[in-house]
Amino acid sequence: MTVKDAGRAARAGKRATDSRAPAREPEREADGAELIQLLTPEGERVEHPDYPLEISAAEVKALYRDLVIVRRIDFEAIALQRQGELGIWASLLGQEAAQIGSGRALSPRDMAFPTYREHGVAWCRGLDPLKLLELFRGVSHGGWDPTAHNFHLYTIVIGSQTLHATGYAMGIQRDGAVGDGGEAVIAYFGDGATSQGDVNEAFIWASVNNAPIVFFCQNNQWAISEPLERQSRTPLYLRAKGFGFPGVRVDGNDVLACLAVTRKAMQAAREGQGPTLIEAFTYRMGAHTTTDDPTRYRLSAELEAWKLKDPIERVKQYLIRTGQAEMSFFDEVEAEAAAVGSRVRTACQRMPDPEPVSMFDNVLTAPTDQLAAERDGFAAYLDSFEAEEAVAAGDRR
Amino acid sequence: MTTLTLSRALNEGLRKALEANDKALIMGEDVGKLGGVFRVTDGLQKDFGEARVIDTPLAESGIIGTAIGLALRGYRPICEIQFDGFIFPAFDQIVSQLAKMRYRSRGAVRLPIVIRVPFGGGIGAVEHHSESPEALFVHTPGLRVVSCGDPADAYTMIQQAASSDDPVLFFEPKRRYWDKAEVDTEGGLAAALPMDKARVLADGTDLTLLCYGPMVRTCVEAAVAAASDGRSLEVIDLRSLAPLDTETIFASVRKTGRCVVVHEAVVTGGLGAEIAAEVTQECFYSLEAPVLRVGAYTTPYPPSRLEEFYLPDLDRILDAADRSFGY
Dihedral of the CA atoms B239, B241, B245, B248 (nearest 10)? 60
Are the C-beta atoms of B299 and B267 separated by less than 8 Å?
A: no
Bridge pairing between strands B24-28 and B76-80: parallel
Same domain (yes/no): B155, B273: no
- State the CATH number of the domain containing residue B50: 3.40.50.970
Give the pLDDT of residue A34.
84
Give the pLDDT of residue A184.
98
Same domain (yes/no): B42, B170: yes
Percent pLDDT > 90 in chain A is: 88
Are the C-beta atoms of A101 and A72 separated by less than 8 Å?
A: no
- Give a yes or no: residue B313 inside a domain: yes
Is A389's Cβ below 8 Å from some Cβ in B? no
Would the pLDDT of A17 be above 50?
A: no
State the catalytic residue, choosing from A104, A288, A314, A345.
A288
Same domain (yes/no): B147, B16: yes
Distance between CA atoms of A362 and A59, rounded to whole angstroms?
42
Distance between CA atoms of B223 and A195, rounded to whole angstroms?
54
H or E segment to which residue A335 belongs: helix A327-349
- Give a yes or no: residue B189 inside a domain: no
- Give a yes or no: residue B132 inside a domain: yes
Residue A167 to residue B68, Cβ atoms within 8 A: yes
Distance between CA atoms of B31 and B80, rounded to whole angstroms?
8
Distance between CA atoms of B39 and B36, rounded to whole angstroms?
5
Report the pLDDT averaged over residues A337-364.
97
Same domain (yes/no): B45, B110: yes
- Which residue positions in chain B have pLDDT lower than 50? none
Same domain (yes/no): B179, B213: no
Same domain (yes/no): B19, B152: yes
Give the pLDDT of residue A10.
45
Same domain (yes/no): B166, B311: no
- Give a yes or no: residue B63 inside a domain: yes
Domain boundary among B183, B216, B250: B183
Distance between CA atoms of B70 and B27, rounded to whole angstroms?
11
- Give a yes or no: residue B112 inside a domain: yes
Sign of torsion over alpha carbons A77, A82, A83, A89: positive
Pick from B235, B251, B244: which is nearest to B134 by CA? B244
Query: How far apart are the CA of A359 and the nearest CA of chain B, in angstroms?
Result: 9
Give the pLDDT of residue A323.
96
Report the pLDDT averaged over residues A15-36.
60
Phi and psi at residue A234, to the nearest 5°: -125, 145
Distance between CA atoms of B88 and B137, rounded to whole angstroms?
11
| Facing B106 at nearest CB: one of A140, A165, A198 | A140
What beta strand segments (E) does chain A contain? 27-28, 34-35, 111-113, 185-190, 213-219, 222-223, 226-227, 247-251, 276-281
Per-residue CA distances from A207 to A243, A244, A269 (Å): 7, 6, 11
Are the C-beta atoms of B62 and A205 separated by less than 8 Å?
A: yes
**Which chain A positions have a beta carbon within 8 Å of B62's beta carbon?**
163, 198, 201-202, 204-205
Using the 8-state DSSP alphabet, how is residue B93 labeled?
I
Domain boundary among B183, B210, B232: B183
Are the C-beta atoms of B241 and B298 separated by less than 8 Å?
A: no
Residue A171 to residue B74, Cβ atoms within 8 A: yes
Same domain (yes/no): B20, B164: yes
**pTM for the full predicted model:** 0.94
- State the CATH number of the domain containing residue B306: 3.40.50.920
Same domain (yes/no): B269, B304: yes
Radius of gyration of chain B (CA): 19
Residue A205 to residue B57, Cβ atoms within 8 A: yes
The ipTM assigned to this model is: 0.96
Q: What pLDDT, in 10s, does the model give residues A200-211?
A: 999 999 999 999
| Facing B102 at nearest CB: one of A170, A174, A362 | A362
Residue A26: band (very low, low, confident or very high) from pLDDT cuts 50, 70, 90: low
Report the pLDDT averaged over residues A216-227.
96
Residue A24: band (very low, low, confident or very high) from pLDDT cuts 50, 70, 90: low
Residue B69 to residue A163, Cβ atoms within 8 A: yes
Residue B65 to residue A160, Cβ atoms within 8 A: yes
A141 in catalytic set? no
Would the pLDDT of A86 be above 60?
A: yes
**Which chain A positions have a beta carbon within 8 Å of B109's beta carbon?**
145-146, 153
Residue A3: band (very low, low, confident or very high) from pLDDT cuts 50, 70, 90: very low
- Give a yes or no: residue B298 inside a domain: yes
Same domain (yes/no): B260, B153: no
Pick from B137, B310, B146: which is nearest to B213 by CA? B146
- Give a yes or no: residue B42 inside a domain: yes
Query: Could you give the angle at the alpha carbon of B78 between the alpha carbons of B77 and B81, nearest 5°?
Result: 120
A284 in catalytic set? yes
Same domain (yes/no): B216, B144: no
Pick from A112, A93, A125, A372: which is nearest to A252 by CA? A93
Peptide bond into B77 cis (omega under 30): no
Domain boundary among B130, B150, B183: B183
Give the pLDDT of residue A7.
44
Give the pLDDT of residue A393.
79
Residue B69 to residue A169, Cβ atoms within 8 A: yes
- Give a yes or no: residue B72 inside a domain: yes
**Chain A, nearest residue to B96 by Cα:** A157
State the catalytic residue, choosing from B128, B129, B139, B263.
B129
The residue length of chain A stands at: 397
Phi and psi at residue A117, to the nearest 5°: -120, 10
Question: Residue B56's domain spans which residues?
Answer: 2-183
State the catalytic residue, choosing from A125, A284, A314, A345.
A284
Domain count, chain B: 2
Report the pLDDT averaged over residues A189-201.
98
Would the pLDDT of A31 be above 90?
A: no
Report the pLDDT averaged over residues A320-344.
97
Chain A segment 104-163 residues within 8 A of B by beta carbon are 140-147, 152-153, 155, 157, 160, 162-163
Same domain (yes/no): B161, B58: yes
Longest dimension (CA), chain A: 91
Beta bridge partners of B237: B199, B211
Are the C-beta atoms of A211 and A170 separated by less than 8 Å?
A: yes
Query: How far apart are the CA of A371 and the nearest CA of chain B, in angstroms?
Result: 9
- B→A contacts (Cβ < 8 Å), by residue, are 25, 51, 56-57, 59, 61-62, 64-75, 89, 92-93, 96-97, 100-110, 141-142, 144, 165-166, 196, 243-244, 246-247
Report the pLDDT averaged over residues A310-339.
97
Pick from A114, A104, A208, A235: which is nearest to A165 by CA? A114
Report the pLDDT averaged over residues A120-136.
98
Give the pLDDT of residue A258.
98
Distance between CA atoms of A374 and B142, rounded to whole angstroms?
15
Pick from A92, A122, A71, A104: which is nearest to A258 by CA? A104
Are the C-beta atoms of B45 and B33 separated by less than 8 Å?
A: yes
